[in-house]
Amino acid sequence: MDAESQDAEIVKGMFRPECRPPSLVVKPGVGLFFLCTHRHTASNTNGQTLRNITMVQPPRVTIHADESCLGNQFESRANPGGAAGLVEFWKGEKWERRDFWHSESDTTNNRMAIRSAIEGLTLLKRPCIVRFVSDSQYLIRGMNEWVRGWKAKGWKRKGGPPENLQLWQELDKVAARHRLEWSWVRGHTGHPRNEYANYLATRAAKEQSSSQGFVDSGFVAWLEKQREDRERYLDFFEDLLPGGDGFP
């Protein structure tokens, strides 16, 4: 085993039990890089000095997502739906923003809520610290309260399998890559990021379109139009520095 591999094994042993297994990047001649959200000392229990070890914080990303399903009042015909989100992360000295959206020809609001999380988290290229915000209590309570119990019981609940089981299982697998905070926001109350995600999801449902990945965001342009045409969000400042937790 070479020196860098030995160091890798030493550092892995330093991570606390509550840490997810760290992502290791070995750069020959440069050193070892680990992705972890906690602080760790750079020596083992024998006091052995480690070479060129850097702890790298995962990116902090906020996703504001929403869903739409058209024609829910009609039981005898297909109900097209959309799922979408606004992604924000601080890079250098400014916010970087991306949009995504997805559509299905016949679906439900609950299915699209789960799909909004699957799509957004899958598109992240590496493990991140994610604050995921949605007005769907079904999604947020599901990930904060229900999924853990379903898994412990073999993906079962009293009365049979959970509704939308395959989607929940897919989301659970995708979410395991990230450190997640699931946050609920009341919908249709003038929250600009939530309203923008709703606009994207509704448009996707109507047009039956998909972004095919992340695309440059139209959030700022949408804000300006809302301000000019409807005098909304005049007291909202989209370029404020990140808060103490690194999020908007």
Residue type, 220: V
pLDDT for position 41:
44
pLDDT digits 0-9 by tens, 164-191 = 999 999 999 999 999 999 999 999 999 9
pLDDT, greater one: 57 or 203: 203
pLDDT, greater one: 239 or 5: 239
Report how far residue 10's alpha carbon sits from residue 63's, in angstroms, rounded to the nearest whole number.
35
Strands (E), 49-161: 53-56, 60-69, 81-91, 94-104, 129-134
- Residue 222 in contact with residue 213, Cβ under 8 Å? no
Q: Which H/E stretch holds residue 151? A: helix 147-152
Domains defined for the chain, CATH in brackets: 3-56 (no CATH), 60-230 (3.30.420.10)
- List, in sequence order, every residue forming a beta bridge with 60; answer none if it has no partner: 129
Provide the 10 A C-beta neighbour count for residue 206: 13
Q: What is the mean pLDDT of residues 109-123?
A: 98
pLDDT of residue 71 exceeding 90, the answer is no
Report how far residue 87's alpha carbon sits from residue 61's, in angstroms, rounded to the nearest whole number.
7
DSSP-based three-state secondary structure for 29: coil
pTM more than 0.75:
yes
The residue among 44, 45, 36 whose CA lies nearest residue 7 is 44
pLDDT of residue 57 exceeding 50, the answer is yes
pLDDT of residue 8 exceeding 90, the answer is no
Q: What is the mean pLDDT of residues 96-107?
A: 97
Q: What is the mean pLDDT of residues 9-33?
A: 44
